[in-house]
Amino acid sequence: MLDNILAFIKKFIPVPVFNLFQPFYHLCLAYLAAAIYGFPARRLKIVGVTGTNGKSTVVHLISSILEEAGEKVASVSSLRFRVNQQEEKNTLKMTMPGRFKLQKFLREAVWAGCKYGIIEITSEGIKQYRHVGIVFYMAVLTNMTPEHIESHGTFEKYRAVKAELFKRAKIHVLNGEDPSIEYFLKIPAQNRIIYSKKDLPPNVHLKLLGEFNLENAVAAFHAAKLLGIEFNAIKRALESVRGVPGRLEFMQKEPFLVVVDYAHTPDALEKVYETLGGNLICVLGSAGGGRDKWKRPEMGKIADKFCKKIILTNEDPYDENPEAILAEVECGIAQKNKLQKILDRSEAIREAIKSAKAGDTVIITGKGAEPWIMGPNGAKIPWDDREVVREELAIAQK
């Protein structure tokens, strides 16, 4: 409702004046929400997880470790809201909830007797002060690659917004293999650890695939250690996690692989393709809404490098022309002979599965476990790549 009020006000205020007023509006709402719910974060140890890719996975892993250790935990990510092992899907199409929703969730966590709150923190959330009114005990950095450049202006400004979380946290867990490590080391901390994927003890055997998931696991490993969790509980939890919904999720293994992944940035897409290896049949698109248009040809270029067949399809067009989005992705594809454009996402997935042979890998990226396709005028079309894949595999097997 408050967002509707903001949109109404915007109609009657000149844009320059509105832009000056908007940060103050967001800041006031953040303090108001925290005050209404009694500043619940003060009664929890809050761990904020930020970065470009891997945030949801790290939130999932830290929560799993704490639960394995017998702790009461609440967590918020792009995937779910979870309190004391009771969870519901995050259907907001918003990774970090609005201020009132987030503060209400933290209040419910306190009522449920939780000791820890693990929150996925986004740059857009910080920009809108959704983190204000929350006392952060620890901040975890996964990685930093370009994203939301249209919103923030430059990569440096995007990174600076992420850094606001670390200015509010006592303990920092930083990725020592990320190029931005020196930047984050300049932010004072009471305690910090710099991690590398080499840090995972050899007697911890992950079921998660990919070098990027090794980094995610190490980040969770160090965060848990700094929270005082004993090694055996960490080991049991990390070894028990077979996957995270919509993150390198295997839908079929024989006679050919079918995999769904959320990868929606060039860096994430390349890492997923590298992990899966050759004979890739790739279904991908790019989000609309004026979001990171720069990355569209880059996504095409990466698909051109790794995929033997490319099917471009609709993703989240918002108010943009879906065909125009695909045309921009196509600009990065040099080998047009391996390209198909099928706007209907169900048909694109069907074609990928029909064309696959033994030894191939069908990889569908961009949506993961998201429950909607975002259309024009705020339309939310119910969707789940994984359900569509299951339906198409069932049809193909008849």
Per the structure, the count of domains in the chain is: 2
Residues 63 and 140 in one domain: yes
pLDDT at 10 over 80: no
Residues 36 and 145 in one domain: yes
Give the separation between CA 223 and CA 235, rounded to whole angstroms: 13
Q: Which of 240, 272, 289 is the last residue of a domain?
A: 240
pTM score: 0.93
Residues 258 and 236 in one domain: no
pLDDT at 6: 54
pLDDT at 358 over 80: yes
Higher-pLDDT residue of 34, 151: 34
pLDDT at 93: 86
pLDDT at 25: 79
Residues 192 and 264 in one domain: no
The 3-state DSSP class for residue 245 equals coil
Which stretches of the chain are DSSP H helices?
Answer: 2-10, 15-36, 55-68, 99-111, 123-127, 149-152, 155-167, 181-185, 211-226, 231-240, 266-276, 295-306, 322-330, 345-355, 385-396
pLDDT at 20: 63
pLDDT at 44 over 90: yes
Backbone phi, psi, residue 269, to 5°: -60, -45
Please report which confidence band the pLDDT of residue 19 belongs to, taking 50, 70 and 90 as the band edges: low
Q: Which of 240, 270, 288 is the last residue of a domain?
A: 240
Residues 220 and 350 in one domain: no
Residues 16 and 157 in one domain: yes
Q: Which of 185, 205, 240 is the last residue of a domain?
A: 240
pLDDT at 4: 56
Residues 230 and 278 in one domain: no
Q: Are 280 and 363 in contact (CB under 8 A)?
A: yes
Q: Are 225 and 234 in contact (CB under 8 A)?
A: yes
For residue 183, give the CATH number of its domain. Answer: 3.40.1190.10
Higher-pLDDT residue of 94, 75: 75
pLDDT digits (tens, 9 = 90+) for 100-140: 999 999 999 999 999 999 999 999 999 999 999 999 999 99
Mean pLDDT within 193-199? 96
pLDDT at 2 over 80: no
Residues paired with 284 in a beta bridge: 312
Give the separation between CA 23 and CA 331, rounded to whole angstroms: 37
Angle 96-128-45 from CA coordinates, rounded to 5°: 50
Residues paired with 244 in a beta bridge: 247
pLDDT at 290: 81
pLDDT at 17: 58
Residues 171 and 217 in one domain: yes
Domain range for residue 173?
Answer: 2-240
Mean pLDDT within 84-99? 92
For residue 296, give the CATH number of its domain. Answer: 3.90.190.20
Q: Locate 397 and state its tokens.
A: 């097997």
Q: Are 193 and 226 in contact (CB under 8 A)?
A: yes
Percent of the chain with pLDDT over 90: 87
Higher-pLDDT residue of 9, 335: 335
pLDDT digits (tens, 9 = 90+) for 142-153: 999 998 888 888
Residues 31 and 67 in one domain: yes
pLDDT at 5: 55
Residues 79 and 210 in one domain: yes
Backbone phi, psi, residue 174, to 5°: -120, 145
pLDDT at 26: 83
Give the separation between CA 350 and CA 62, rounded to whole angstroms: 36
pLDDT digits (tens, 9 = 90+) for 273-315: 999 999 999 999 999 988 789 999 999 999 999 999 999 999 9
The 3-state DSSP class for residue 345 equals helix
- The closest of 284, 311, 278 to 299, measured between CA atoms, is 284
pLDDT at 14: 63
Instruction: Please give the DSSP secondary-structure letter assigned to residue 40.
Output: G
pLDDT at 11: 62
pLDDT at 335: 97
pLDDT digits (tens, 9 = 90+) for 200-251: 999 999 999 999 999 999 999 999 999 999 999 999 999 999 999 999 999 9
Residues 278 and 170 in one domain: no
pLDDT at 186: 98
Residues 236 and 330 in one domain: no
Task: Please state, in angstroms and as integers, the Cα–Cα distance from residue 236 to each residue in 21, 164, 343, following that order.
Answer: 50, 33, 44
